[in-house]
Every structure is written in structure tokens, then in C-alpha cells.
Amino acid sequence: MLYINGEWRKARSGKEAEVRNPATGERIGRVAWCGKQETEEAIQSADTAFQKWKRVPAGKRSAYLLKAASIMKEKAEELAETITTEMGKPISEARREIQTATGYLEWFAEEAKRVYGDTVPASQNDKQLMVLKEPVGVTAAITPWNFPMSMVTRKIAPAIAAGCTVVLKPAPVTPLSAIRVFECLHEAGLPKGVANLVIGPAEEIGPVLTKSPVVRKLTFTGSTAVGKKLIRDSADTVKKVSMELGGHAPFIVFADADLERAVQGAIDAKFVNNGQTCICVNRIYVEEKVADEFGRMLAAKASALKIGNGLNEDTELGPLIHHFAFEKVQAHVRDAIEKNGVILCGGKPYKAEGLEGFFYEPTVIHHANEEMKIATEETFGPVVPIFSFQDEQEVIEKANRTRYGLAAYCYTNDLGRGLRMMNELEYGIVGINDAAPVTVQGPFGGYKESGIGREGGKSGILEYLEEKYVSIRMM
């Protein structure tokens, strides 16, 4: 169903699309599949609602978000199952995603009350200078499938908190998760039109959102290629844009590091969500003298990961989301082998009875080189190459030699080196001896072609605010 102006609706054409479980291929639902007209109606509804919502006191806006978070928590188990059946991640990870998704609602409910302005010292006694913060306006939000609930709340919570209204287009492979979040907002009594949901083809909905002069803000999470297109398409109406795009994270291990911890860190930061996250490790750099040992230890742990249907409690790796993802993983592995990479584990699809989806074995490739596709392209799957290096300067240059700049990781027991790496890595997120740096109170976002703006943290809400400078002459 679509959610427009506070009502659950079908598409005007009556069209529907199927949703399938990527682990089993089973059909798990049907959703309304809309187009241009419903998107225009959703924008109209958001625009009408904005005129009232921007005047609702921050404390009240906050209360709606807190209520929605508490409803989501009550339904946590059922929501986690929706995530797992729709996109395949292990149920334990889906439960963590619900915590993050509700965490964003709660964090921005608090931030709503802290949108302070400024007074500015004037250069004349008869003037009073102030800076006010105001909501940007109607916001279009476009989200990917890999975190189908937390990516939604990471956008709509700060928008609603700031006093904006929203039209969300989720990824078409994970619409049920978005519907579940909207059910919680509806149950929380959010006034009609404040949040609207459209589900349908990107090529129809996208241009309506980007070309509309009513939409003042576009927030997008997805690939860098699509992000660039959306920036271009938004240029004619000069929208404020935030872009959370692709990544190519280096994971650097110095010989002085605790290798056990580094290996576990690499497992966590590579194989979470089956390698389908923007901050997943894409390149492991290990100091040459410990590279073989690290490779053996990593392959031993990776090959022990349990593959299966995410609904089984012991599953650690689910399926890839679709055929294209599977093809890309296979192409990267084939290419690495052709270019003299050595497969330490995995390297082939995983097959088992009852699993019809696109499963691939966790794969570690040793002796990687910069000619390989995997060295520069996002794999988005359970495959990781190991490169070796001799010294700090060399690895800093190699780690930074990419058009991406989202997340980077470094393992070392030398404090000075850790601090130097913190300063030198050209990335928006840096984990030093920490493979899980992301948290709702930290700003999330990338340098270079990994994006524009930040989500979460105290800066997250600023993306949805305009500054109005006021000068008052008192005499």
C-alpha cells in the first residue's frame, strides 16, 4: 500500500508488484506500484501539511517520534522478521537494525528540542543581529534495500524533527519494511501529510521528485552513480541535497596490532549483512611480515561462518539480494583469479537444499594487486582481498588512492601511529582498533564521491534546516 495524506491507498492504475524472499525465492507479499500521479499527490499532501507542521512546537514533534519509536520497539520481533524475509540478513542483525532504527527516532526526537539559533554581536549599538533556524520544507527521501528500516528512520526522523514534511521512495525490493515503519508513524498519530510513502519505478517517481519546485530538499542513500544523477536532476530547482553514497573501505593492519582482534574486526566489518553495506571492508592492507599469518587466520574464521536462511538463529551469512549482486561478486572473483590472486577460502556459490537464493561462500583472496577490479570497485558481497605493504607512508597513500571516502579502519597498538592514521586517512568515518564505529550519536557520511552532508549525530538535523539571518535596527 501507498501512504498519502494519512491514508493507505492502492495505485490509481491498480498495479501491484511482488515482493520475494531472497533466501527461498518465495513470494512474501504484494504492494501497490504507483507512478507520476500519486507522487505528485504525495508532494501536494506534504506541501499542505508543511504549512501547519512547521508551526508545531518542537516538543510536540518530538513526542510523535518518541511514540513511533516505542511502537516499533513493541513490535520489534515481527519487524525484524520482515527485514530478514525481505532482504535476507540474519535475524540477529535484523534485531540490531530495529535498535538502530528506533535509536534514530529517539535521537532526533531529542534533537528537535535543541534547534538553537544565535545572537551575533553587532558593530553598532542600535542594531540587534540574530540567526534563526527554520525547516527547509518538503523533503524527498530515497532509500536503498540494505538497511530497509534504519535508512528510512535516519532520514525521516531528522526531517520530521526539524519541521519538514516528507515523501519517501524506498527501494522496490524492500517496500514491506518501509510500510512497517509507516504503520508505526500512523499508529503514533502523526498528522496527515507529514510523512508520505510512494512505491514504484525509480524512472517515473525520481524525476517527479527532483524536478518539483515544491520539493526543497533531497536526501538520498544509494550508489554514487545514482547520487550523481540525482544531484544533476535537482540542479534546475537548486535543492538542498544530502547524499550518502558508495564506499571502498580500507582495513589496515600493522604488525604491532593484536592480530586476533584485527582478524575478528575484519570478519565483523566485512561479513556483516553479507558484505552488503557501504562501510564494509573492501581492501585489507596487512604489513608484509604478518600478511601470510593474517590471511590464514582470516580464512579459517571466514570459512567457519554459517550460511543459510536468515530466519535460522545460527545463520551468520544470508543470501545476496539479487541476481545482479551475485553476478558482480562472481565477476570480481573471476577477475582476481585471472590476475594472480590466491583464493584462501570460498571462491564459489554456496548450494544447499531449500535455499533457492543467491548464496556465495565467504571468500578471502590473498596476494591482491591494484589491477584487480576489486581494488577499485565496490563488490557489495562476501569477498575480500588482502594486499601487503611495507611502511606507514605507503599504506596511507594506497588507502587514500580512491574516489571514495566513507569509512576506513586501522589496527595498531602504537598510540602515536593510531593518531597519525586518524589524521591522515581521508574518510568521513575512521575506526581505530574498532570495526563497528557507527552509532546514532555520531555523524555518518563521506568525503569525496562518498557523499555530501551527514546523517545522525548533532549535525544530522542541520541538513533539514535553513539559517535565516535577521538584522533589527532599533532606532
Q: Cβ(470)–Cβ(130) under 8 Å?
A: yes
With CB under 6 A, what is the number of residues at the site for ligand NAP? Answer: 24
Of residues 133-172, which lie at the interface with ligand NAP (CB under 6 A)?
142-146, 171-172
- Determine the interface stretch with ligand NAP among 221-229, 288-296, 342-350, 355-363 (rule: CB under 6 A): 221-229
Instruction: Indicate the SS3 state at residue 138.
Output: strand
Q: Which of 202, 255, 305, 331 binds ligand NAP (CB under 6 A)?
A: 202
Q: Which of 437, 435, 436, 439 is nearest to 262 (CA)?
A: 435
Q: Which of 138, 159, 278, 364 binds ligand NAP (CB under 6 A)?
A: 278
> Is residue 295 a contact residue for ligand NAP (CB under 6 A)?
no
> Is residue 221 a contact residue for ligand NAP (CB under 6 A)?
yes
Strand positions, DSSP E, 194-340: 195-197, 215-221, 240-244, 249-253, 281-287
Of residues 339-398, which lie at the interface with ligand NAP (CB under 6 A)?
378
> Is residue 222 a contact residue for ligand NAP (CB under 6 A)?
yes
Beta bridge partners of 165: 138
Of residues 397-456, which lie at the interface with ligand NAP (CB under 6 A)?
406, 446, 451
Buried b (16+ CB within 10 A) or exposed e, 56-89: bebeebbbbbbbbbebbbeeeeebbebbbbbbbb
Q: Which of 93, 359, 89, 386 is nearest to 263 (CA)?
A: 386
> Is residue 245 a contact residue for ligand NAP (CB under 6 A)?
yes
Nearer to ligand NAP by Cβ, of 246 and 460: the residue is: 246
Examine the residue annotation and report whether 203 is marked as an active-site residue of this protein: no
- ∠ Cα 313 319 323 (to 5°): 165
Among 86, 244, 287, 463, the one annotated catalytic: 244
CB of 428 to ligand NAP, least distance (A): 9
Distance, CA of 54 to CA of 355 (rounded, Å): 49
Examine the residue annotation and report whether 34 is marked as an active-site residue of this protein: no
Nearer to ligand NAP by Cβ, of 193 and 451: the residue is: 451
Q: How far apart are the first and last CA of the chain?
A: 58
> Is residue 218 a contact residue for ligand NAP (CB under 6 A)?
no
Instruction: Indicate the SS3 state at residue 63.
Output: helix
Binding interface with ligand NAP (CB under 6 A): 142-146, 171-172, 202, 206, 221-223, 226, 229-230, 244-247, 278, 378, 406, 446, 451
